[in-house]
Structure 1
């Protein structure tokens, strides 16, 4: 999932350099959404892993 964030970020940066405002904004928005989703899933994974380790 982090790879997709980097891909959309690269698209946004390249589009911003060439002045394609709509494409850059959309790609940056998608990258932000996927990044936040990745962070939430990472935190949930850490919490579940910590809970599982304390029960053993």
Structure 2
């Protein structure tokens, strides 16, 4: 039973790390697209671009 709990914890950690990487990649992609549209956007424009 202990090994099943440990396996579930490892699976949770792996899924969490994948989610973090996806979020970071998406944030970088959105930031890059916003920069290419406007060189110095206002805060509202950055939010609306996202």
TM-score by length of 2: 0.70
Instruction: Please give the alpha-carbon distance, in whole angstroms, between the structure 2 residues aligned to 1:29 and 1:35.
Output: 10
Structure 1 residue runs of 4 or more that deviate by more than 6 Å after TM superposition:
none
- Structure (1 or 2) with the larger CA radius of gyration: 2
Aligned residues: 37
- Unmatched segments (≥5 aa) in structure 1: 1-19
- Unmatched segments (≥5 aa) in structure 2: 38-50
Larger relative contact order (Cα-Cα within 8 Å, sequence gap ≥ 6): 1
Are 2:29 and 1:48 aligned? yes
Indicate which of 21, 32, 37 corresponds to 2:18.
Answer: 37
| Partner residue in 2 for 1:8 | none
| CA RMSD across the alignment | 0.6
TM-score by length of 1: 0.63
